[in-house]
Structure 1
């Protein structure tokens, strides 16, 4: 939520910057272009005016020189006119300032400056000879005056240089007029582009503004809809909820709160103490609620027993947290109530059941002690008589010596064999008892290794037999290694034992996954098989489906398998047909260690 507000603020800043840039482009760019064009136009006009002024100044210099020469010629021809002498001397006064003015006008053109320097030299020489001619005239030396004027016309030709300056000025004038015309065209083009840019920027501003207005309207509509949905959800929640101000007065309550405490859904500014006929008068609770408002400490799972408006005592759990209102500096309090009356009753029942369970556990403990005592008795008290029976049978046979007939020898053999079978039954019964009481030592178990160990052990007890083994790749499982080793030794041992009458025994070990993902291990053989009508007896203690004379055993191996698999949370079952072999299945969880290889022996 905070990130969203930060993005909105950043977007607003970027939009403001974009609008300011647009305004700057629309207002400042045309001003700068217009000002630059006007300045360029003014400069071009000044250059054109300067070119015309250069031409006029050159003509004035030439005119002043010719007027003075004309006045001197009139004086020499004795045809003076009014002010002839002053006009004859006027060129000396007016021409030098005009030359300086001409230099100033052509200061930005080196070629013109060079021509002006030539013109000044010629003018100075011609004015000097004209001055000499006027002095000779005043001394009545008309011959000398004529010679000076003739030399002035021959040596200092002002008109040629003046014509060159005028021609150069006219060429510059044409060039400057062309540049001024091109500059005017460029200015009009720039103004046209500026106008297009203004239209584009205005269009962008209008489009962006319209989009922002549309987004704002959609956001307002979405906000109103969100508020309406929130109100619907707030009222539909079955958990009582109330919003209180900083004085613990109601601002908003939902339907569940109103129904449970008898307050109107439109209730405002009603103190919490006055709600529910004293249901909220608990001083500790009110202090905790004020701490939430003042110190922003959330209230979690405060348990309280209240008598609500319906007169029923309820066990409730109260939670509260502080909220900051956007339109106010004062915080508000969100209060939620959970009715846990049913849970409290269940907890009471659980306590009672736990008490009963403790009694059962004590009983089971006593039974286990009795079983352990029985196991000890079987292990020690029953073994001693068996040993005595076997020992005295052997002593009796030795005592009789050669007087023992075949019948007596047979009877003594039966006694010894029965003693050994009884001792083996006791050992197997103790193993069966320990399998049900010992703790599981869970670890990663490589089933492939266990099968190979069991196979080697079975082959060592089946000398001279031809056994065809078909063992698939088996996984690593989690279990008690010693117990699972017992499973494989019993199942593979049975497969080898009950295929003893086959020329070639075929034993197949496979694994698959069932629908729940657990492993299903299968051991199948082509041995004697069994009748499925008696399948329930297979896994019972001392239950056998074949005669001891046909196949040795005491009928406890499969009972051990069933107990071990069940302690691992699996199942075991069998399928068979007389003379067609048997298939034994058992399941184990497919949960593997995090790294199965770390459980394997190097």
Structure 2
């Protein structure tokens, strides 16, 4: 306690000496003011020089650009001089560096900096056209090169902006000279005021110094308390933390580090690679930590496996950064460790599950391809025997002639009808198989035109029908035109078919922009409708909700619609009510078609 008091008294004496030194500084203030005036004069001279440099750089940039243009003009006139091509390309090589120098010179003046930005934009545009002219000249496109050269002079006028920059520099020079004169006047005034202020400051220093000393002592006490609180927090943190010197020896470790690696909390000077029974002997980590100390490179999330003092294999993440010690010139290293063993196990499990999922997806894709190939093969091979059945049924009917009775004609008619229906089923199955294999030919597709075409075709198949059509404006989308034509023919054909028993059929075709940004198309009718309990069967192959005697068909059209829409990245669904009609919806991505003269995109 007595020694601490003696140190405080000594500190007070040193502070008193500091106050006396402050008095001497106050006396020397007039000298500093005079010196400041001289410094301002030097700065004014530097500003004048800088203004001249700005003007010289602007003229040099303009001259270099004009020289390149002149060289290109000589080349275009078929009258080149020696090194004309090199001169034509000099501006592109030199002007960007000159512009960077000019930006540096005017960095303290926003107005000039704005003008230089304009000059850079114009100069870059002009250089780009000069480069284009040179490229066209090298490609023997003289007319194109001349046009590019004329465009450079007409679109990017650098002389006007250069003159504005020079005029602004001259104005700034005048303003700076006036400011220097005003500063000189102010310096004289400050000298007078300084003499008065010296007496006031001498009084204030004596009165305030003692108060400052007391505040400093209270601040030191508060600082010691803050250090103690920081140490308490450090020891309470459950994440291992260590402070190492520039030789990777311990300066401080918290309780978590001590517990995990078996080192004493008050240990100092123990090398890191001796801690934790070899947990820190990783050579790469050691080198990375030395790089942090030598080059001030922070180490982020370095992962490694460690066997800690409890014999458990842990997966940890190490972070480190350099700290500068207040009481030493040598830096210190703050090391933190995070145990991510549980997270690493979860990530490994996720990777394994993803790998299994990828294998399942591959298997499903292979099965789908095999099913499509099988469907196509079966459908194709069934055609030949079916044609034989139909042909021999016709031959049998001709062979029997008038000898055949009514029952025989009925049986032969059933065979013919069944053969035709089977042929149509096979044809539809082939179409369904091809829709899954063929490549999409993406192009701009006018959906309104496809709807008009599908409506005309459906009306021709149902002559004499009274159908009220309401077709709203439809957008242009990107897709396979033939496939989308099949979609509209099936949906509109179904609407016409299932309103066949209505005295006044109403069919509505509309489109809107859905919340997800895609287009949603809808075909609605007031026909037979369907029970929503069986909506899951609508889009299945050969699935029907009505009898063939009521409405003809084979139940594959909606399956084709779903396959086409799905291949376009959309979705399809339906809503209906028995006797009150149905509404079929499908979506397509709202992609603006590029201008490509009607050619397919892929």
CA distance in 2, matches of 1:256, 1:437: 62
CA distance in 2, matches of 1:232, 1:523: 72
CA distance in 1, matches of 2:346, 2:442: 35
Match of 1:409 in 2: 409
Q: Which digits, 9 at most, give the CA deviation of each residue in 1:173-209, with x for residues without a partner?
A: xxxxxxxxxxxxxxxxxxxxx89x9499969x99xx9
The answer on whether the counterparts of 1:253 and 1:265 sit within 8 Å (CA) in structure 2 is: yes
Query: What's the CA shift for 1:23?
Result: 6.0
CA distance in 1, matches of 2:413, 2:464: 28
Query: What's the CA shift for 1:422?
Result: 1.0
Query: What's the CA shift for 1:413?
Result: 2.6
Match of 2:471 in 1: 471
Unmatched segments (≥5 aa) in structure 2: 1-25, 38-188, 210-214
CA 1:245/1:434 → structure 2, altered by over 3 Å: closer, same or farther?
farther
CA distance in 1, matches of 2:364, 2:586: 29
Match of 1:280 in 2: 280
Specify the SS of the correspondent of 2:523.
strand
Deviates more, 1:228-237 or 1:263-272: 228-237
Q: Which digits, 9 at most, give the CA deviation of each residue in 1:255-286, with x for residues without a partner?
A: 65455435567765443124334311234432
CA distance in 1, matches of 2:296, 2:419: 82
Q: Which digits, 9 at most, give the CA deviation of each residue in 1:568-592, with x for residues without a partner?
A: 555433222333221122345x5x4
Query: What's the CA shift for 1:554?
Result: 0.6
CA 1:358/1:545 → structure 2, altered by over 3 Å: closer, same or farther?
closer
The answer on whether the counterparts of 2:443 and 2:598 sit within 8 Å (CA) in structure 1 is: no
Q: Which digits, 9 at most, give the CA deviation of each residue in 1:237-263, with x for residues without a partner?
A: 876454432111234556654554355
CA 1:365/1:538 → structure 2, altered by over 3 Å: closer, same or farther?
closer
CA distance in 2, matches of 1:489, 1:540: 18
Specify the SS of the correspondent of 1:382.
helix
Query: What's the CA shift for 1:314?
Result: 0.8
Match of 1:82 in 2: none
The answer on whether the counterparts of 2:562 and 2:571 sit within 8 Å (CA) in structure 1 is: yes
The answer on whether the counterparts of 2:531 and 2:577 sit within 8 Å (CA) in structure 1 is: yes
Query: What's the CA shift for 1:391?
Result: 1.2
The answer on whether the counterparts of 1:446 and 1:600 sit within 8 Å (CA) in structure 2 is: no
Query: What's the CA shift for 1:313?
Result: 0.6
Match of 1:380 in 2: 380
CA distance in 2, matches of 1:425, 1:261: 76
Match of 1:529 in 2: 529
The answer on whether the counterparts of 2:302 and 2:318 sit within 8 Å (CA) in structure 1 is: yes
Match of 2:314 in 1: 314
Match of 2:576 in 1: 576
Q: Which digits, 9 at most, give the CA deviation of each residue in 1:509-568, with x for residues without a partner?
A: 223455555544322112222233433332232122223233221111122333444555
CA distance in 1, matches of 2:255, 2:597: 63
Give the structure-2-normalised TM-score: 0.54
Query: What's the CA shift for 1:414?
Result: 2.2
Match of 2:393 in 1: 393
- Equivalent residues, number: 407
Deviates more, 1:529-538 or 1:387-396: 529-538
Match of 1:542 in 2: 542
CA 1:361/1:199 → structure 2, altered by over 3 Å: closer, same or farther?
closer
- 1:590-601 equivalences in 2 (<5 Å): 592-593=590-591, 595-598=592-595, 601=598
CA distance in 1, matches of 2:195, 2:452: 86
The answer on whether the counterparts of 2:495 and 2:525 sit within 8 Å (CA) in structure 1 is: yes
The answer on whether the counterparts of 2:376 and 2:430 sit within 8 Å (CA) in structure 1 is: no
- 1:453-464 equivalences in 2 (<5 Å): 453-464=453-464
Query: What's the CA shift for 1:389?
Result: 0.6
Match of 1:56 in 2: none
Deviates more, 1:563-572 or 1:552-561: 563-572
CA distance in 2, matches of 1:400, 1:321: 102
Query: What's the CA shift for 1:424?
Result: 1.7
Match of 1:248 in 2: 248
Unmatched segments (≥5 aa) in structure 1: 1-15, 28-193
CA 1:530/1:403 → structure 2, altered by over 3 Å: closer, same or farther?
same
CA 1:525/1:201 → structure 2, altered by over 3 Å: closer, same or farther?
farther
CA distance in 2, matches of 1:306, 1:519: 56
Match of 1:492 in 2: 492
- 1:509-520 equivalences in 2 (<5 Å): 509-512=509-512, 519-520=519-520
Match of 1:157 in 2: none
The answer on whether the counterparts of 1:22 and 1:201 sit within 8 Å (CA) in structure 2 is: no
Query: What's the CA shift for 1:474?
Result: 3.6
CA distance in 1, matches of 2:247, 2:560: 72
CA distance in 1, matches of 2:441, 2:239: 47
Q: Cα RMSD over matched residues?
A: 4.9
